[in-house]
Structure 1
Amino acid sequence: MNTTKILGEAVGIQSQGVVDKTEAQTSEGLTSAVIVGRFLRGRTDKPMTIHQGNIRGQLGYEPNNLDYIAVQDCLDTGVPNIQVLRIGPTLNSEPEPAE
């Protein structure tokens, strides 16, 4: 059997070999996220962009709020920023007065 890398006009089968990608490490990760939840403060009319530098200022600090913990955990995993939509007061806060 003749093996050559240049077939020219000859009839034959071209093979580029097998590349095993089953154990390849991918560097891809989560780069964006959207979280809907209840927070102490923040906009309710459109999503806010939250990052490590503004999380407490935009959402208020609530270490016992599961929604707040979810946002903080997501940022801690390396996501640069998260779109957060506030849907109302937190469950453990005072109810908003009716008008």
Structure 2
Amino acid sequence: MCLGIPGRIVEVTDTENCLAKVDVSGVQRTISVRLLEKDLPQPDDWVLVHVGFAMAKIDEAEALLTLAAVQKLGDAYQDEIEAFDSSSIV
């Protein structure tokens, strides 16, 4: 199962290549924000992350509600966090 999970932008690591470090439930990874290049997220912005891409900006309230909901999925949530933890963009 693949989920879109809210993550908070920690830093924009490469503006030219549209890369940013995001924190998803304590796991930090570099993701592509290219799909949002017309309105690049900045540190502390929340985004919906799916397969290494920020799909949309979301507000903090929506992010926290979504995180609470997906955490209730139990194993599916843990599987997604483990997959995110083991992935990387080079």
Structure showing the higher strand proportion among its residues = 2
Instruction: Pick the TM interval, shorter chain.
Output: under 0.3
What TM-score comes out, normalization by structure 2 length?
A: 0.24
Structure with bigger RCO (C-alpha 8 Å, 6+ apart)? 1
Q: Which has the larger radius of gyration?
A: 1
Structure showing the higher helix proportion among its residues = 2
